[in-house]
A = this chain, B = another copy of it.
Amino acid sequence: MGLLDYLDHRQFPIEEWALVESSVNTAIEGRTETLFAIGNGYFGMRGAPEEGRGGHQNGTFINGFHDTWTIRHAEEAFGFARVGQTIVNVPDAKVIELYVDDEPFDVATAEILRYHRRLDFNDGVLSREIEWRTSSGKRVLVRTQRLVSFTDRHLAVVTYTVTMLDAPGTVLLSSQILNRQDWKDEYATAAHAEALLEDPRQAAAFSRRVLEPRLKHADGPRQLLGYQAANSGMTLAVGVDHGLQTENVWTERGEIEDDQAKHLFKVQARAGTPIELTKTITYHSANGVPVRELADRCNRTLDRINARPIQDVFSRQKHWLADFWDRADVAVDGQPEMQQAIRWNLYQLAQSTARTDGGGIAAKGVSGSGYGGHYFWDTEIYVLPFLTYTSPHVARNALRFRQNMLPAARERAAELNQRGALFPWRTISGLESSAYYAAGTAQYHIDADISHALMQYVSATGDIDFLNRGAIDILIETARMWADLGFWRRPGAGPQTFHIHGVTGPDEYTTVVNDNLYTNVMARANLQAAVRQVRRLREECPEAYASMVQRVDLDDDEIQEWEAAAEAMHIPFDEDLGIHPQDAQFLEKELWDLENTPASKRPLLLHFHPLVIYRFQVIKQADVVLAMFLRGSEFSAEQKRANFEYYDALTTGDSTLSASTQSIIAAEVGYRDLALDYFRAALFVDLGDLHHNTADGVHVASTGGVWSALVFGFGGMRDHAGSLSFDPRLPEGWESLTFRITTRGSRMRVQIRQGSVSFALEDGAEVKLRVRAEAITVYPGMPAEVSLQDDRPDLQGAPTTSDIEGTHRGDGSVITASIPTITLHEDQIQHAN
């Protein structure tokens, strides 16, 4: 598949350090609103134009700012989640409407002579340059800049410059704050409302007022609006200030209402004399702080910014990004299309995480309302590796966020009749918000995922102090949950085994099973880490140990119980097929014949009832394969290849979490081309809208997966048990792959070429590592290069269900593939023609 399948470069010309758009295409405006969204992890603005009309979802989102609603299950049961949480589209402060001689400017319908939009990865600015011809034939040049600041957490800036090119005219700029959330009749389209009902991946819509007006205040060109979310009680203030620079004659006036503040500039513009409006914007939100206090904070932010030239904000942005790229850039020589896409993905990671500070990292970051603005396990497994190895302080914040969620997780465990803590499958506030337990609450593995990310962070950074100061409670309460959830079986002879029943693994096409391989492998690691860290703490920091024992009421018996459970953990393995069954019964099921499932029937979840899907061997996303990545040292090379070949054939990739992991293991077991195909599928998830829902926001986990596929996949980096190693496998046609990782305070540049890998310290003390079997120490100022001779198999093609079909299984039966009856209705048949 060529890259042109993914991104039309006539509309989006290739640039290595920017995403550029050269024409307006309203047919994909939902997608471009996401691709050109800007944010800093605390808040974000979608890429809708300043002029504010039309659009798919003209959204502004503050991380974690949500309202609640009561989940009404059509049929109730004990312990079902009750509190729905949905991120709120907060008032839109970027609006600047432009009228020339009373004619409104709307990019979607105007006569555009020239159009250039650019999200610059170095400047951190979204800019437009548009030449418009009005219906009376006047040419108008519109230049805009928009940034959400990485350095000033609560700040955004919009500059809006208008120049009448060849005739004078009356230019009206109507700068607004608009509460779109409660302005539905005018802005929401019926099609969007319909889509919300049809697609389970979309956010639940509110059908009532969400933001109660609490404050409105205007002081000349400065305007403030304050709100409180009706049910959650969260508070919010948004403030704007304006500065107009022009040599034309102008007047201004303001209006303010509950859901809209307007400041209007009326300019008698001469030809060639620019009008430049600078709008500073600030958002402050809280849980428990009065709106009035937030308004004060808005005033202070605006005062501080206005006290210095606005260019300072732009310089700080650029400086911050320079530092970011120093830590996080991944360069691929000779592949400009991919290079652009890689940087766009990495840039999204910055935009989703930079200033979350104490908050979580949502599935869509702050780029859209998909998945209701919720936090999932995606963060820990797909995003934290990037943060841990490039921005450890951000990783630490994300883990502290989970630590702060422990009390809610303890309550949830009790509700599900377990000891310890059970982290919610999806949440904003810490309360479980998943209304479909089979693919939600049943994914107990989230406990192990969080523990995994915590230990990965500690191991990579050496920040043992973080554990000692309380993060160890996460390990303890999750280990406790596993020991209580599982149970022992006592065979007449042979050692006892420990089993975990009735859970769902990462693969959501197989639910509520016994001994899910991923879960058992990860739970084992979780238990082991808890045992190890508790014992270490007792030895190294008796005081911290004593305080911990008091906090979590721990005794020695319990630690021994964890150790025993880990040791005896049942890891299903099928000797005949030489593979790890995804769960105890997985191999008993019919094979779904994916090769013969038409594209019109995908993704399966939108075309088949869950009961149908669950009945087959068919996979939404990497499950055993993910376990082989995260706990790679616990599988032999032979097992890895056999598992990969078996499961790859069954994997639909209907989840965007799949491709990057499949790419990493494909690279490891020797499917070099397939690894590249999967990498592209991850790389263009959003740029190519491969899952048809980019309009709902960036797939942040996939952007993390892109980094992982580059570093862990092609770079072959592993960090099992604190031992850093590299086994690179550069795709054919790539001249080089260059990335930086930060480990235990040292920043190291890694460059892979065909036939060699080199390491250079850019900061910090020496780093020990291995390249395949060879041990190396990289010292400051002394780059090391190792030549690589690839003697591993280079496997071609991709495994398919027909490879599996006909295989003999342990019970002597032969695996056969079938495809569920597909009933084509009249209209579908016609559509198929």
Which residues on A are within 8 Å of B, measured CB to CB? 71-81, 84, 197-200, 204, 414-419, 434-438, 440-442, 484, 487-494, 501-502, 512, 514, 584-585, 588-590, 605-612, 614-615, 808, 811-814, 816, 818, 820-823
Q: Which of B71, B199, B512 contacts A512 (CB 8 A)?
A: B512
Given contacts A71-B74, A74-B72, A512-B512, contact A437 B816 (CB under 8 A): no
Are B74's CB and A417's CB within 8 A?
no
| B contact residues around A615 at 8 Å (CB) | 501-502
Beyond contacts A74-B204, A75-B435: 16 other A-B pairs, Cβ-Cβ < 8 A, are A72-B74, A73-B435, A77-B436, A78-B605, A78-B607, A78-B610, A79-B609, A79-B612, A80-B609, A416-B612, A437-B611, A487-B590, A491-B812, A493-B812, A502-B615, A584-B588
**Given contacts A512-B614, A615-B502, is CB(A78)–CB(B492) below 8 Å?**
no
Tell me the complex Cα distance, A204–B72, Å: 10
Selected from B484, B491, B590, the residue in CB contact (under 8 A) with A501 is B590
**Interchain nearest-CB distance for A231 vs B (Å):** 16
Rounded to whole Å, the gap between the CB of A519 and the closest CB of chain B is 13
Q: Report the bound CA distance from A438 to B84 in whole Å.
A: 22
Assembly CA distance A345 to B813 (angstroms): 52
The answer to whether B79 touches A490 (Cβ under 8 A) is: no
Contact A78-B588, Cβ < 8 Å, known A488-B816, A492-B813, A512-B611: no
Task: Specify the chain B residue showing the minimal Cβ separation from A603.
Answer: B78
The verdict on A418 contacting B614 (CB below 8 Å), with A75-B435, A816-B490 known, is: no
What 10 A-B pairs come out closest when comparing CB atoms? A74-B435, A79-B609, A502-B615, A75-B436, A492-B812, A76-B200, A414-B823, A491-B813, A491-B812, A71-B74
In the bound complex, do residue B588 and residue A822 qualify as a contact, i.e. CB atoms below 8 Å apart?
A: no
**Interchain Cβ contacts under 8 Å between A and B, 15 examples:** A73-B435, A75-B436, A76-B199, A77-B200, A79-B610, A80-B609, A418-B821, A437-B609, A438-B438, A484-B821, A490-B814, A491-B812, A501-B588, A512-B512, A584-B585
A609 to B811: give the CA distance in the assembly, Å: 35
Which B residues are CB-close (under 8 A) to A491? 811-814
B417 touching A197, Cβ below 8 Å? no
Between A436, A605, A811, the greatest number of chain B beta carbons within 10 A of the residue's beta carbon is seen for A436
Chain B: which residue is nearest A426 at the CB level?
Answer: B75
Closest CB of chain B to A512's CB: distance in Å? Answer: 7
Partner of A609, one of B199, B441, B585: B441
Q: A73-B435, A417-B820, A419-B821 are in contact. Are A442 and B611 (CB under 8 A)?
A: yes
Select from chain B the residue with minimum beta-carbon distance to A84. B74
Neighbouring B residues of A438 by C-beta, 8 Å: 438
Assess whether A821 is in contact with B417, with CB atoms less than 8 Å apart. yes
Docked Cα-Cα span, A609 to B77, in Å, equals 7
Residues in B whose Cβ lies below 8 Å from that of A415: 609
- Once the chains are docked, how many angstroms separate the CA of A492 from the CA of B72? 50
Chain B residues near A611 (CB, 8 Å)? 79, 416, 437, 441-442, 502, 512
Closest Cβ of chain B to A337, distance in Å, is: 35
Q: Is the Cβ of B77 less than 8 Å from the Cβ of A605?
A: yes
Min CB gap A439→B, angstroms: 8
Residues on B with beta carbons closer than 8 Å to the beta carbon of A822: 417
| Measured CA separation A76–B435 after assembly (Å) | 9
**Residues A492 and B808 in contact, CB atoms below 8 Å apart:** yes
For the complex, would chain A's binding face be called helix, strand, loop or mixed by DSSP majority?
loop
State in angstroms the CA–CA spacing of A512 and B615 once bound together: 9
Q: Which residues of B contact A614 (CB under 8 A)?
A: 502, 512
Nearest-Cβ distance from residue A619 to partner chain B, whole angstroms: 16
A820: which B residues are within 8 A, CB to CB?
417
A810 CB, min distance to chain B CBs, angstroms? 11
Q: How far is the CA of A808 from the CA of B607 in the complex (A)?
A: 45
User: Nearest CB to that of A814 among chain B residues?
Assistant: B490
Contacts of A199 in B (CB 8 A): 76
Number of copies: 2
| CB nearest to A436 among chain B residues | B75
Interface centre among A78, A198, A414, A489 (most CB of B within 10 A): A78
Docked-complex contact B434 and A75, CB < 8 angstroms: yes
- Chain B residues with CB under 8 A of A501: 588-590, 615
Q: Give the Cβ gap from A603 to chain B, nearest Cβ, in Å.
A: 10
Q: Nearest residue in B to A411 (C-beta to C-beta)?
A: B823
**A270→B608 CA distance, assembly (Å):** 75
In the assembled complex, the Cα of A607 lies from the Cα of B584 at a distance in Å of 28
Q: How far is the CA of A820 from the CA of B808 in the complex (A)?
A: 39
> How far is A606 from B77 in the complex, measured between Cα atoms in Å?
7
Residue of B nearest to A420 (CB): B821
Q: In whole Å, how far is A195's beta carbon from the nearest beta carbon of chain B?
A: 12
A685 to B95: give the CA distance in the assembly, Å: 66
By beta carbon, the residue of chain B nearest A204 is B74
Chain B residues contacting A198 (CB-CB under 8 Å) are: 76
- What is the bound-complex CA distance between A157 and B29, given in angstroms? 67
- Residues of chain B with a CB closer than 8 A to A612's CB: 79, 416-417
Cα separation A814 to B494 with both chains bound (whole Å)? 12
Residues of B within 8 A of A197 (CB): 76
CB contacts (< 8 Å) of A418 on chain B: these are 821
Docked CA distance A81–B73 (Å): 13
Complex CA–CA separation, A812 to B495 (angstroms): 12
Interchain CA distance A589-B72 in the complex, whole Å: 31
Residues of chain B lying within 8 A (CB to CB) of residue A76: 197-200
Shortest CB-to-CB span from A441 to chain B, Å, is: 7
A615 CA / B588 CA spacing, docked (Å) = 19
> Which residues of chain B are within 8 angstroms of A493 by Cβ–Cβ distance?
812
Task: Tell me the complex Cα distance, A611–B81, Å.
Answer: 13
- Which residues from B are CB-within-8-Å of A607? 78
CB distance from A577 to the nearest CB of B (A): 14
Q: What is the chain B residue whose CB lies nearest that of A501? A: B615
List chain B residues, Cβ under 8 A from A609: 77-80, 415-417, 437, 441
Give the contacting residue for A417; candidates B78, B81, B585, B823; CB below 8 A.
B823
CB distance from A551 to the nearest CB of B (A): 19
Residues of B within 8 A of A440 (CB): 75
Chain B positions within 8 Å of A512 at CB level: 512, 611, 614
Q: How far is the CA of A74 from the CA of B68 in the complex (A)?
A: 13
Q: Which partner residue on chain B sits nearest A489 by CB separation?
A: B813
B610 touches A77 (CB 8 A): yes
A197, A436, A489, A822 pick with most chain B CB within 10 angstroms: A489
Residues of B within 8 A of A78 (CB): 605-610
Q: Smallest CB-CB separation from A444: which chain B residue?
A: B611
Q: Given contacts A75-B200, A609-B437, A823-B414, are A814 and B492 in contact (CB under 8 A)?
A: yes
State how many angstroms separate the Cβ of A574 from the closest Cβ of chain B: 15
Q: Could you tell me the distance between the alpha carbons of A502 and B812 in the complex, rounded to whole angstroms?
A: 22
Measured CB to CB, the closest approach of chain B to A371, in angstroms, equals 11
Assembly CA distance A199 to B822 (angstroms): 38
Closest to A439 in B: B75
A608 proximity list for chain B (CB < 8 A): 78-79, 417
A479 to chain B, nearest CB (A): 15
Residue ID in chain B nearest A589 by CB atoms: B501
CA–CA, A35 and B316, complex, Å: 78
Residues in B whose Cβ lies below 8 Å from that of A75: 200, 434-436, 440
User: With A and B bound together, what is the CA distance between A682 and B421 in angstroms?
Assistant: 41
Report the nearest B residue to A591, measured CB to CB. B487
A417-B821, A608-B417 known; A74 and B73 CB under 8 Å? yes
How far, in whole Å, are A614 and B442 apart by their CA atoms in the complex?
11
**How far is it, in angstroms, between the C-alpha of A80 and the C-alpha of B198 when the chains are bound?**
11
Bound CA–CA A252/B199 (angstroms): 61
In the complex, what distance in Å separates the CA atom of A146 from the CA atom of B464?
A: 80
Known A-B contacts A491-B811, A606-B78; the reply to A514 vs B585 at CB < 8 A is: yes
Q: Cα distance A418–B811 when bound, in Å?
A: 28
